[in-house]
Structure 1
Amino acid sequence: MDTEIELKYLVLGDDIPAVITNLLNQLKLPFSCETKTLANCYFDTPNLALRKADIGLRIRQNNKGEIEQTIKTAGVTVGGLHQRPEYNIALDSADVNLALFSHEIWPTDFDVTSVQEQLTPLFDTNFTRMTWLITMPDKSQIELAFDQGEVRSSQSSELINEIELELVSGNANSIFTLAHSLISVLEMRPGTLSKAARGYGLVFGQTESHISSGSTVLAIDNDMTIAESFKAGFSECLTQLQQLVSQFVAKPNLQVLKDISDSLALARHGLWLYQDYLPCDKADPIRSQIKTILAELVWVEPARQIRELTTKKGNYRKKIEYSKNLLAELKNEKHQLIDFEQMGILLHSEAFNLLQLSMLEFIVNDLEEKQHETELLDLAPSWLSLNLGTLDKAIHHDKPLTVDEYIEKHHLIIRSLLTGSWFGGLYNVDKRMDFRGPWLDIHLGIDELETLTLLKDHLQQSSEEVPQKLICWLDDKVENLLCALEHCKAAALNLQPYWLK
């Protein structure tokens, strides 16, 4: 058995082999190079017995006529880094023979004979692989492979254009060193799905559901140390971020960009919450990198608000049509703001790739446990109570807030919700949801207030005479929304915090 330690990237552009070879020569890294063609057929039973057991089975043939059957069992994928046990057996023919594998690799009660009888080919992955066997300065050896071809099922196909970095021997950190160099010369993004997962997606439809970062509660538990809980939460942030990027690349839209921004904010918030327990020399640069990317996404929220105002199915469209020029002005402003092509470049850029690689290195490398007496169940309630106390002081109990006051304090509510996203999983889910509900309603209500404020600003700047019924409607809408927010505020401030016993 071998355990793959592999970093995978989806790559764009032409002349990729030439770019890689030139880079290795510039870095003066010794390497040997070869090219081969690989034909792979993946198998499973009609009821997906292998897939359900998180097992991948393939027969691979190369251009030399060599045939090999491979089993990959359950592993770990974080941020494009794949670690998965792999079992390979050479064959004389392209017929699957599961009996050749050791019985120890199979899950308990797995009926190998029954599965063998039911196996059927599902999809193929056929590609040309160019590999560079590279010796790093620390004598570690890395196999860099560039695969170009396609995944094909009976219904459809999908292009393969990806790079894989696999540790052959030595220090796993050498993979990150080489990845840093590749990022500087290639346009790419981490690949979170294996070729097998992409093939299953073609056969049975993509099952990756849309992620809403606003409802995220990170999967940390009471048995974790502070370092373990940070790494678990930060890993989930990175995984979520990369899934959202894949969704945007597949279908560009504003909501996914907003979720990408929110996911980055959640990761940055974790660095703040755990700042006393993390090495500053590693955490501070990542916070700075996140800040740089978030600055590139600052236009997304205004564009999303304008879309809400102008969409044909939106709540405001018919009212806005009272003004002849307003709708055209808003559409023009949205058009000037949105540049999905530029966002695609950002999501494949060196800066964004370096951020994700830094996050991944932070997760997979051991964090030195600083000497402290604080435990996770001390840290979590202290932060939750601190954030709530700040909100309690900022929000008037005895008088209504104005539009400007709600908008001004929005960041405090967001910060408190983000803290709940990090630590909420440590507590009873029903009590947590009851407590977060009114605060989430306030958050969404302020979002709407900001949209209405944007509309009001456009009306005030309009060169035409604004219809009175539009002004009256807008005033009534704001007043009703403020009334609803006050009810939510009263409910939120009277709830017993779920983290207090």
Structure 2
Amino acid sequence: MDTEIELKYLVLGDNIPAVITNLLTQLKHPFSCETKTLANCYFDTPDLALRKADIGLRIRQNNKGEIEQTIKTAGVTVGGLHQRPEYNITLESADVNLTLFNQEIWPTGFDVKSVQEQLSPLFETNFKRMTWLITMPDNSQIELAFDQGEVRSSQSSEAINEIELELVSGNENSIFTLAHSLISVIEIRPGTLSKAARGYGLVFGRTESHISSGSTVLVIENGMTISESFKAGFSECLTQLQQLVSQFVTKQNLQVLKEISDTLALARHGLWLYKDYLPSDKSDSIRKQIKAVLAELVWVEPALQIRELTTKKGNYRKKIEYSKSLLAELKNEKHQLIDFQQMLKLLHAEAFNKLQLSMLEFILNDLDEVHSTELLDLAPSWLSLNLDTLDKAIHRDKPLTSAEYIENHHLIIRSLLTGSWFGGLYSVDKRMDFRGPWLDIHLGIDELETLTLLKGHLQQSSEDIPQKLVCWLDDKVENLLCALEHCKAAALNLQPYWLK
């Protein structure tokens, strides 16, 4: 058995082999290079017995006539790094024979004979592979493969255009060293799905999970140490980030960009919460990288607000139509803000890829456990600190103005982010009862910010604004402030779920 340790990247651009060869030559890394054609057929039973057991089975043939049968069992994928046990057997013909594998690889109760009898081809992955076997300065060896071809089922196909970095021998960190060099010369993004997973997606359909930052609670458990809990939460942030990027690349959407921004904010908040337990130089560096990417996404929130004002199905469109010039002005501003092509470049650019690589390295590196603080001491202290700060800022017994709600919005967001990190340690029902009113306040301030944006446009307008539009806007703000006060009173009177 071999355990693959490899990074996968989806590639943009042309002349990739020449770019790779030139890079390795410039870096003075010794390498050998070869090209081969690979035809792969994946098998499963009608009831997907292999897939349910998280097993992949393929027969691979190359242009030299060599045939190999491969089983890959359950592994781990984090941030484009794939680690899966792999079993290979050379065959004389392209006929599957599961009995050739050691019986110890199969899950308990797995009926090899029955599965063998029911196997049939599901899909193929056929591609040209160019490989570079590279010797790094520390003598680690890495195989860099560039694959071009397609995944094909009987119904459809999908292009393969990807790079894989696999550690052959030596230090795992050498993969990251080479990856940092690659992303400086090639437009790429992490590939979170294997070729097999993409094939299954073609056959059975691929459903993208809906990700909402408001409902996110990271999978952190009571038995974890502080370092384990940080790694689990930060890893989940990275996985969620890359799922969202994949969704945006497939179909450009403002809301997905907003969720990308919110997920980056959640990751950055974790670095802040755990700052006393993390290497400060690496932690600060990643926070600065996240800040730089968030600066590129700062336009998304106002673009969403303008979309809400101008969309035909929105709550405000009919009222805004009282002023045709205002509607035209808002549409023009939205058009100027949105540049999805620029966002696609950002998500394949060196800075964004280096950020994700830095996050992945941070997750994989060992963190010291020399502190005495327990996770169940850290969590309530941060949750209570955020709530105390809020309580002082939003005046329990005094109504807030629009400006005051908007001014304190960041404190509410910060408190919700802390709940996203530590909420999983506590009762779901109690957590949701407590979190609900604060989420309502957060959404109410979002709407208040949209109305404030509209009010600003009205005040700057050179035309006479219809009085009924002004009156409607004033009434809308007043009613919203009233609702926010009710939510505030309810939120501040709830017993915190983290206190016994």
TM-score, L = length of structure 2:
0.99
Q: Which residue of 2 is the match for residue 488 of structure 1? A: 487
* Paired amino acid for 1:476: D
3-state SS of the aligned residue for 2:458? helix
| 1:105 maps to 2:105 | yes
3-state SS of the aligned residue for 1:355? helix
Q: Which residue of 2 is the match for residue 223 of structure 1? A: 223
3-state SS of the aligned residue for 2:159? strand
* Paired amino acid for 1:383: W
Q: Which residue of 2 is the match for residue 348 of structure 1? A: 348
| 1:454 maps to 2:448 | no
Q: Which residue of 2 is the match for residue 20 of structure 1? A: 20
Matches within 5 A, 1:82-97: 82-97=82-97
Q: Which residue of 2 is the match for residue 327 of structure 1? A: 327
* Paired amino acid for 1:419: T
Between the aligned partners of 1:365 and 1:347, the Cα distance in structure 2 is 25
* Paired amino acid for 1:434: D
The runs of 5 or more residues in structure 1 that have no matched partner are none
- Render the CA deviation track for 1:254-279: whole Å, top value 9, x for unaligned: 00000000000000000000000000
Between the aligned partners of 1:12 and 1:192, the Cα distance in structure 2 is 16
Between the aligned partners of 1:43 and 1:208, the Cα distance in structure 2 is 24
Between the aligned partners of 1:112 and 1:255, the Cα distance in structure 2 is 46
3-state SS of the aligned residue for 2:218? coil
* Paired amino acid for 2:385: L
Between the aligned partners of 1:27 and 1:135, the Cα distance in structure 2 is 11
- Render the CA deviation track for 1:47-78: whole Å, top value 9, x for unaligned: 11111111111110000001111110000000
3-state SS of the aligned residue for 2:324? coil
3-state SS of the aligned residue for 2:419? helix
* Paired amino acid for 2:120: T
Between the aligned partners of 1:155 and 1:214, the Cα distance in structure 2 is 37
Between the aligned partners of 1:474 and 1:71, the Cα distance in structure 2 is 64
- Kindly state the Cα deviation for residue 324 of structure 1 after the two structures are TM-superposed: 1.4
| 1:283 maps to 2:287 | no
Between the aligned partners of 1:121 and 1:69, the Cα distance in structure 2 is 13
> Is the Cα contact below 8 Å between 1:41 and 1:122 reproduced in 2?
yes
Overall identity of the aligned pairs, in %: 89
Between the aligned partners of 1:245 and 1:499, the Cα distance in structure 2 is 34
- Render the CA deviation track for 1:183-203: whole Å, top value 9, x for unaligned: 110000000000000011111
The runs of 5 or more residues in structure 2 that have no matched partner are none
| 1:380 maps to 2:366 | no
Between the aligned partners of 1:412 and 1:291, the Cα distance in structure 2 is 18
The runs of at least 4 aligned residues of structure 1 exceeding 6 Å deviation read none
3-state SS of the aligned residue for 1:294? helix
Between the aligned partners of 1:372 and 1:141, the Cα distance in structure 2 is 37
Q: Which residue of 2 is the match for residue 470 of structure 1? A: 469
Between the aligned partners of 2:466 and 2:115, the Cα distance in structure 1 is 72
Matches within 5 A, 1:63-142: 63-142=63-142
Q: Which residue of 1 is the match for residue 274 of structure 2? A: 274
Between the aligned partners of 1:470 and 1:117, the Cα distance in structure 2 is 72
Between the aligned partners of 1:156 and 1:305, the Cα distance in structure 2 is 38
Q: Which moved more, 1:160-169 or 1:42-51?
A: 42-51
3-state SS of the aligned residue for 2:481? helix
> Is the Cα contact below 8 Å between 1:214 and 1:259 reproduced in 2?
no
Q: Which residue of 2 is the match for residue 337 of structure 1? A: 337
- Render the CA deviation track for 1:326-352: whole Å, top value 9, x for unaligned: 111000000000000000000000000
Between the aligned partners of 1:219 and 1:65, the Cα distance in structure 2 is 47
3-state SS of the aligned residue for 1:325? helix
- Render the CA deviation track for 1:465-498: whole Å, top value 9, x for unaligned: 1111111111111111111111110100000000
- Kindly state the Cα deviation for residue 396 of structure 1 after the two structures are TM-superposed: 1.1
Considering only aligned residues, what root-mean-square deviation do their CA atoms show, in Å?
0.6
Between the aligned partners of 1:463 and 1:91, the Cα distance in structure 2 is 80
TM-score, L = length of structure 1:
0.99
> Is the Cα contact below 8 Å between 1:189 and 1:348 reproduced in 2?
yes
Number of residue pairs aligned between Structure 1 and Structure 2: 500
Matches within 5 A, 1:33-432: 33-369=33-369, 371-432=370-431
Between the aligned partners of 1:101 and 1:390, the Cα distance in structure 2 is 61
* Paired amino acid for 2:218: L
3-state SS of the aligned residue for 1:29? coil
Q: Which moved more, 1:116-125 or 1:405-414?
A: 116-125
- Kindly state the Cα deviation for residue 368 of structure 1 after the two structures are TM-superposed: 2.0
- Kindly state the Cα deviation for residue 214 of structure 1 after the two structures are TM-superposed: 2.1
